[in-house]
Structure 1
């Protein structure tokens, strides 16, 4: 299946008024672009990477006009004349987990079910009655949260997931290596040996090396519930796989008309269309996040240094429980599922599900990028 990019469908309604950053390849290699006033500008001579672009004053970049976005025939296909690429390049790909009360309960359910989807329904009913309401009202790290923690320990209900949900420290992990994400229209992968998995529709913040939050995009932080449910120490296998991280279609840069407050109020809608006619929809409402996005960014920075900046998935409240293949089995992906993640202010990210084994191998890494930029004379000092 080949997807066709249409600004009317895949960009926000006010895209001609916004400022967007991304990457395209017109045959020579990846290049950063700005979309300003509905027009696409090649800014690769001024800033050879998106990481450089986000460190600069994007509004002051001149660039070379490539024409209106409406006139582009953008495709993710390898043989396309103008390929749309995932927007991050040199950014570390980071993610925050267990940032919503609802998703917290689902992580606890995975843990107690030992990754067995058929055991989830009974555990869910029991836990929701005991901790569901309290989880949604408590502030992480507060005295009330610590009191709830003590009560749960006393009742034998404590979990490592509840620790990062209501404790002082957020769960921050590396979703994938630099340059490993896929973008709009590309296949997204789940491990071929996973039997219980789901998409995770999220907002992805883009952060500079100095810690400035400069923009946002849409992302799919694919989750393997069976792997992580067996052991939290399998998080790396559950999260970091070929083609398992999707971001796009573009980064919307913060300006007077779009700020972090818009992210705080944002609803992210997810739709799944299965090859057998199955359909599922859901919403990730950022207004229900347990930790403020700025606090999550600060915790990701910690005492570490990200000189090229990072992209940070903020987590999701969406955890599908609808039975797909039989009563009590819950939801899991089928190969060929089309996943659409959308927001009124960020557009629509579309991917088709395949296995990480069958998805195109990721081969264009940092060495390849640096070699390509050098051969085009785009590196500073080249």
Structure 2
């Protein structure tokens, strides 16, 4: 992937760190490593930072990266990129935008049948007055709306987490299972209604401090989850169904949590059949503040000693017909999915089925064996 396809609009003005497969030099062993993306190339920092989790535990990760020269290993378009998280738990917040909330209710009412979706959409929007914009979760107004929807037999577990006091936060994928930029992403072969979910992903350390952000694709099977919310794990967690990257932009003078709050995430899907879909998701329209979602993830009731990354949710739920009128959107093999944001660059992946993608084999035991063999644990 060329540099112009992955770097932010301001190039390398920020502090950009990622993970890449470090090729073996004479007398060394190849393996994953923390890297910095700079104007003059990509630099291996693994001699100082064995893991991304460890780097984010520092008081000032951006300052530490800037103070570490590292070893040049190539350019942005020659490096094999991995997901920029390693030991962190991969968490996701769901139904954090009013528009995606409506689509989740529609999925449930349609029982996973895309052919029924449009009729349900008209009924639900009519009852809600066309929009949920501006509704504060947990407020008196939200609770009055809940009572109305219950009376109309339209109350849903999605509405509970969308406008109630408690956010939906779930584990998206196992540690180390996410794929990075340029990799294939996986759709379950049994799914006939699915879509990408373009999102901002926060990088959070064990103290609940947000140290930076990246992009992610929280691939979703709408038919599986629509049949039953208890199928969430099958709808969300499949081989290569979680993509994160291309890098983490660390918070520094050029980039802060306020940039996250105001950013727009863009989505493009290009199919081999000539189909093109575009959309965007503005974090300014999120129903819950990103730091509230972090606080609902890590608190006195739940700790993450290696930190976590947190998908913030999306307002983009594709309804554009692809094949048949009223049939909506679903992926086809070979779709190229590009998720981008001005200050976070672009994450691009190609769609395949989860059973055809190379199985995930590099887990925690393999990682620590590799780090030990390279002398990076001492």
Q: TM-score by structure 2 length?
A: 0.94
Q: What is the distance in 1 between the residues matched to 2:137 and 2:130?
A: 14
1:23-172 correspondence runs (5 A): 23-27=19-23, 28-36=30-38, 39-56=41-58, 57-58=60-61, 59-61=63-65, 62-67=67-72, 71-74=75-78, 82-131=79-128, 133=130, 135-172=132-169
Q: Is the 8 A contact 1:195 1:332 kept in 2?
A: yes
1:166 CA displacement: 0.4
Counterpart position of 2:338 = 340
1:1-382 correspondence runs (5 A): 5-27=1-23, 28-36=30-38, 39-56=41-58, 57-58=60-61, 59-61=63-65, 62-67=67-72, 71-74=75-78, 82-131=79-128, 133=130, 135-302=132-299, 303-380=301-378
Compared CA separation, residues 373 and 294, structure 1 to 2 (3 A): same
Compared CA separation, residues 67 and 373, structure 1 to 2 (3 A): closer
1:67 CA displacement: 4.0
Compared CA separation, residues 72 and 204, structure 1 to 2 (3 A): closer
For residues 140-179 of structure 1, the C-alpha deviation after alignment (integer angstroms, 9 at most, x for no partner) is 0112111211222122221111000000000011100000
Paired residue secondary structure (2:317): coil
Q: What is the distance in 2 between the residues matched to 1:37 and 1:18?
A: 10
Stretch moving more, 82-91 or 180-189: 82-91
Unaligned runs of 5+ in 1: 75-81
Unaligned runs of 5+ in 2: 24-29
1:39 CA displacement: 4.5
Name the Cα RMSD after superposition: 1.4
Q: Is the 8 A contact 1:16 1:37 kept in 2?
A: yes
Q: What is the distance in 1 between the residues matched to 2:369 and 2:243?
A: 24
Q: Is the 8 A contact 1:39 1:65 kept in 2?
A: no
Stretch moving more, 155-164 or 333-342: 155-164
Displaced runs of 4+ in structure 1, greater than 6 A?
none
Paired residue secondary structure (1:234): helix
Q: What is the distance in 1 between the residues matched to 2:39 and 2:2?
A: 16
- Aligned residue pairs: how many? 368
Compared CA separation, residues 72 and 156, structure 1 to 2 (3 A): closer
Q: What is the distance in 2 between the residues matched to 1:38 and 1:295?
A: 38
Compared CA separation, residues 118 and 160, structure 1 to 2 (3 A): same
Q: TM-score by structure 1 length?
A: 0.93
Stretch moving more, 147-156 or 328-337: 147-156
